[in-house]
Amino acid sequence: MAAERKREARQKFLLGSIVVKAGLSKADRAFLLGGLLELARIVPGSSEHQRLRDIGKEAFKASSLDAVQEKAEWH
C-alpha cells in the first residue's frame, strides 16, 4: 500500500511539474481540466497528436519556455 501511494505521489508531482513548465501554475483549475479533456479527444498517432508531442519534446529539452514558444510561433 505504501509503495502504491509513493508511486501515485510521484506521478502527481511529475504532472504538476509539467503544468509549471508550461507556465500554467496560476491558471484556473477548470480551464486546465477543460484543456486536458480536449487533449484527451485527440487520436493518438494523428497529425495533431504528433504536432503537440513534438512541441512537448522541445519544451523538455529547452532551458526556458520562452525558447519553445518562440519556435512554436514560427510554425
Per-residue pLDDT of the chain (75 residues; tens, 9 = 90+): 899 999 999 999 999 999 998 999 999 999 999 999 999 999 999 999 999 999 999 988 886 656 556 655 544
Q: Which residues contact 48 (CB under 8 A, 6 or more apart)?
A: 42
Backbone angles phi, psi at 33, to 5 degrees: -65, -40
Helix (H) / strand (E) element for 13: namely helix 2-21
Q: What is the pLDDT of residue 40?
A: 98
Q: Which of 11, 35, 66 is nearest to 58 (CA)?
A: 66
Q: What is the pLDDT of residue 75?
A: 47
Rounded CA separation 8/72 (Å):
32
Q: What is the pLDDT of residue 66?
A: 61
Q: What is the pLDDT of residue 62?
A: 85
